[in-house]
């Protein structure tokens, strides 16, 4: 019995992997996806000087992680509640309570539609920076959600016209589409790390470790060193030394290939900007902060350590160090 169950689960996992792999191979989706990205870029640029504020809001810089997942969860929850209320209405038949259940279902459906629209706006902002396989799966995910939202909207209109049977059917079909789309979205998060903090392993050593001669660290240049097996990127700006994680939290770009711009460390791939002193996001698409560590110059050497240990008074010159909490 147990062996049969394991074989059944294994076969199901193989089919699931085959479906995902097949969707990821649809290269014909590349051209329309990049054209759509151009439209998105034009739309964001139309905000002019407010562009960064708009994209930072959609990317979740203010929240510390992407906004898309909580909105998607909200949509799934209230739309699931709509299905339950529809079931209650059907079960109650002609009783007066059925009318109340149907009316409440219309309200939850409306909230679900609004949440889906917000989820789409934030999701497409995250999606535009993906590539190849993840980009294709993400596009299919978005198109399925668009189709489901269309069914929900049609259902909402039919409810207003008291055509509850067809409205309930449309909601049921739409929710089934949303479930499959949500599975694809979950794959992008858990298998590909889209929307997760990809800055990698943190430095936690409490001891000051000399890593490079102070004279070798040029102003405005980035330099990678390894401390206790953890990559650390050093930067000097205005005579201060900053030590940060080696990978961008957004999509793990090597920060050593970036540059320093007016006190901010810039990601080389998608242009995320992080405050060199604190690691906080100044400009998306990254939403999580860049890990920062303590750094100092002493006896002609740059020394670093993890951010968990507070600085010792008199041991660090405020001119020679940028010291931050991770």
CA distance 118 to 176: 20
DSSP class of residue 28? G
Q: What are the pLDDT digits (tens) for 55-76? A: 999 999 998 889 999 999 999 9
Q: What is the dihedral of CA 300, 302, 258, 123, to 10 degrees?
A: -160
Q: What are the pLDDT digits (tens) for 155-194? A: 999 999 989 899 999 999 999 999 999 999 999 998 888 8
* Run of H or E residues at 15: helix 2-24
Confidence (pTM):
0.82
CA distance 99 to 32: 45
Position with higher pLDDT, 246 vs 319: 246
| 8 Å CB contact between 317 and 296 | yes
> In terms of residues, how long is the chain?
326
Domain architecture of the chain: domains with CATH: 1-192 (no CATH), 209-305 (2.102.10.10)
* Run of H or E residues at 85: helix 68-92
Alpha helices, DSSP H, located in 161-290 = 164-190
pLDDT tier, 307 (very low <50, low <70, confident <90, very high otherwise) = confident
Position with higher pLDDT, 181 vs 52: 181
The shares of helix, strand and coil residues in the chain, as percent rounded to the nearest 5, are 55, 15, 30
């Amino acid at each position: 019995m147990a062996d049969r169950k394991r074989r059944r689960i294994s076969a199901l996992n193989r089919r699931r992997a085959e479906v995902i792999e097949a969707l990821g191979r649809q290269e014909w989706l590349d051209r329309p996806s990049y054209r759509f990205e151009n439209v998105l870029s034009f739309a964001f640029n139309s905000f002019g000087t407010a562009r960064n504020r708009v994209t930072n809001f959609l990317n979740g810089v203010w929240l510390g992680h992407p906004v898309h997942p909580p909105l998607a969860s909200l949509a799934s929850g209230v739309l699931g509640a709509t299905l339950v209320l529809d079931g209650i209405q059907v079960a109650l038949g002609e009783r007066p309570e059925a009318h109340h259940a149907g009316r409440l279902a219309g309200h939850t459906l409306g909230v679900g539609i609004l949440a889906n629209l917000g989820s789409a706006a934030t999701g497409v902002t995250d999606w535009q920076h993906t590539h190849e396989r993840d980009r294709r799966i993400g596009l299919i995910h978005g198109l399925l959600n668009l189709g489901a939202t269309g069914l929900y909207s049609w259902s909402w209109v039919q409810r207003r016209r008291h055509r509850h049977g067809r409205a309930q059917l449309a909601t049921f079909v739409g929710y089934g589409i949303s479930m499959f789309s949500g599975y694809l979205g979950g794959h992008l998060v858990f298998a590909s790390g889209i929307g997760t903090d990809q800055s990698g392993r943190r430095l936690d050593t409490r001891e000051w470790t000399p890593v490079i001669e102070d004279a070798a660290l040029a102003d405005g240049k980035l330099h990678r060193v390894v401390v206790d097996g953890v990559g650390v990127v050093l930067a000097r700006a205005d005579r201060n030394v900053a030590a940060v994680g080696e990978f961008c939290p957004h999509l793990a770009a090597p920060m050593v290939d970036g540059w320093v711009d007016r006190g901010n460390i810039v990601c080389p791939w998608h242009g995320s900007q992080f405050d060199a002193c604190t690691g906080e996001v100044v400009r998306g698409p990254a939403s999580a902060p860049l890990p920062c560590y303590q750094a100092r110059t002493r006896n002609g050497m740059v020394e670093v350590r993890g951010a968990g240990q507070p600085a010792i008074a008199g041991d660090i010159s405020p001119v020679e160090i940028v010291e931050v909490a991770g």
